[in-house]
Amino acid sequence: IFNLQALEHVNARLLELYPDDEERFDIVLMTNNHAQVGVRLINSINHYGLTIERFCMTGGKSPIGYLTAYLTNLYLSADSEKVQEAIEAGIASATMFTANKDVAYSDTQLRVAFDGDAVLFSDESEQIVKEKGLDTFFEHEQLNENKPLAQGPLKGFLEDLGKLQKKFYAKNERLNCPIRTFLVTARSAASSGARVLKTLRSWGLEVDEALFLAGAPKGPILVKIRPHIFFDDQMFHIEGAQKLGTIAAHVPYGIAQKYHKSA
């Protein structure tokens, strides 16, 4: 599902610039299949020309317990129950959904798009929207503009991407960096955007592009961005992205999950 060519291009560029440094993307295939299935998996990976050296086959048991041992920075799966288990274990995780139509993606620049609340940030603000409405939310955000939001489940993954980006910047490759990050949020820039940007700054993080949609659908913007993956905590944004050809990943975190389950 995920565009491994873009990851491999980033690794090749890092190896070229830092031949003695091993800080690169490392892909681990995790499955609860039995080891006997390994040959078939290896043949499939070789058939598609993928570079996956590490396997974890757990013989019917959940692989989640191995994530910490593998120093996992991000766990992606089509199994929502395993993803929920990983999130509860404190590991950045999301349920993958394929796009409903084919879209051409870059093989030379990894493009990752994040929702803000309950993804990069905590669900503090979403709780206020759900419980007290938008007017109270806008007032709360303006009163707390200079108070950083608490971190959400994927903050660490953005941090990891940022560390790799800085390796390119250090070699004067900012304009030619093979990683690009996007914040795509339903927030309005004027009424609730400042707190988000100030929070990122307080963390020492940045995104390449920030798009404040003020409640407009995210799908059309994602078509223009063409990210290899888009992370959001709300399924209607995931479904809207899917319909227009974006590979989307649902982050099962925060108050939106309670409302989704009861719907």
Q: Which of 115, 117, 123, 233 is catalytic?
A: 115
- 3-state class of 77 per DSSP? strand
Give the separation between CA 98 and CA 124, rounded to whole angstroms: 29
- 3-state class of 254 per DSSP? coil
107 token code pair: 């093989």
Give the separation between CA 218 and CA 214, rounded to whole angstroms: 10
DSSP assignment letter at 151 = B
For residue 206, count other CB atoms closer than 10 A to its CB: 15
Give how far the C-alpha of residue 99 lies from the chain's centroid of Cα atoms, to the nearest Å: 16
Q: Is 115 a catalytic residue?
A: yes
Nearest of 182, 191, 241, 190 to residue 209 by alpha carbon: 182
Q: Is residue 141 a contact partner of residue 191, using CB atoms and an 8 Å limit? A: yes
One-letter amino acid of 262: S
Nearest of 151, 15, 3 to residue 76 by alpha carbon: 3
Rg value, the chain, Cα: 19
Residues taking part in catalysis: 115
